[in-house]
């Protein structure tokens, strides 16, 4: 048996799941140890390579999370909040690193990850690209430098299949802006404007969401003042960059003590 660390991919049939499988298979530092899908899914019981329309990879898609996790050192998870919470408990039991790219999690759900972080390494991020995490840092710095004469708006665009809004990345950027200004995002967040909303409240941070076509992911942070605007932008053109970031996070997590981390820790950007 290979001595390489075994990685399980949750949500194997999804767009990100398939990209993650391809990324793991192409790596010489890890091996694909398992592929998970929900009970009743058409892929369960099939070789994951055949299910993806390719050749046999020697890994059968399973709905038995406990058995699959017992054979791995880490799981990469871009699924849904409830599925992530269930998987997190089993990752803790297996002492396996849990790399979470799931978006749409509430604060209460994120808090539910804390007990598992005492037993396993968790890396959770709304976006795992280097560029976005640099953008987060820049957003924090610019927000700290500008006062409330500058309105802040986070504008994001994604493909029409995306089910949550604002995106996890947009919320990361909003949190960074709020932190830069020394305020609680929940107290100053403006989202989903519709109808006669009245004038914008000074100091609030707004969110605008676009869904359409096959947009991989675009994020702007707009600082709009009187007579001038500053725009920080990141555009993703290939979701492979998220899979590569997730694999980087996995390799980093394998050498860490149990705890809760994010991509700023992985990339050495935390101050």
- How far is the C-alpha of 169 from the C-alpha of 154, rounded, in Å? 10
160 has catalytic annotation: no
- Cβ–Cβ < 8 Å for 154, 175: no
Concatenating the DSSP letter of every residue in the chain gives ---SPEEEEESTTSHHHHHHHHHHHH-SS-EEEEEE--TT-TTTTSBHHHHTTS---S-BEES-HHHHHTT-SEEEE-S-HHHHHHHHHHHHHHT-EEEE------HHHHHTTTGGGGTSEEEE-S---HHHHHHHHHHHHHHHHS-TTSEEEEEEEE-TT---SS-HHHHHHHHHHHHHHT--HHHHEE-S--SS--SPPTT-EEEEEEE-TT--EEEEEEEE-SS-EEEEEEEES-THHHHHHHHHHHHHHTTS-SEEE-HHHHTT---
158 has catalytic annotation: yes
Look up residue 249 and give its two tokens.
């996070």
In the set 41, 89, 119, 162, the catalytic residue is 162
In the set 98, 140, 158, 234, the catalytic residue is 158
* Catalytic center residues: 158, 162
């Amino acid at each position: 048996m290979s001595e390489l660390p075994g990685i399980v991919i949750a949500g194997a049939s999804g767009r990100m799941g398939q990209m993650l499988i391809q990324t793991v298979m192409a790596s010489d530092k890890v091996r694909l140890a398992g592929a998970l899908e929900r009970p009743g899914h058409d892929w369960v019981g099939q070789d994951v390579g055949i299910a993806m329309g390719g050749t046999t990879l020697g890994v059968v898609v399973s709905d038995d999370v406990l058995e699959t996790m017992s054979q791995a050192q880490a799981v990469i998870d871009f699924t849904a909040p409830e599925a992530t919470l269930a998987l997190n408990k089993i990752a803790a039991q297996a002492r396996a690193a849990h790399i979470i790219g799931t978006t749409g999690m509430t604060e209460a759900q994120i808090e539910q990850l804390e007990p598992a972080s005492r037993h396993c390494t968790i890396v959770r991020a709304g976006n795992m690209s280097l560029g976005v995490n640099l953008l987060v840092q820049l957003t924090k710095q610019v927000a700290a430098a500008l006062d409330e004469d500058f309105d802040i708006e986070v504008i994001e665009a994604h493909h029409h299949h995306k089910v949550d809004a604002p995106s996890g990345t947009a919320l990361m950027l909003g949190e960074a802006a709020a932190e830069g200004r020394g305020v609680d995002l929940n107290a100053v967040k403006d989202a989903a404007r519709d109808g006669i909303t009245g004038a914008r409240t000074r100091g609030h941070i707004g969110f605008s969401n676009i869904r359409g076509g096959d947009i991989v992911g675009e994020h702007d942070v707009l600082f709009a003042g009187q007579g001038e605007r500053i725009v920080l932008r990141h555009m993703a053109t290939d979701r492979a960059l998220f899979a590569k970031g997730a694999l980087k996070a996995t390799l980093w997590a394998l050498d860490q003590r149990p705890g809760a981390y994010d991509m700023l820790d992985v990339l050495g950007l935390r101050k």
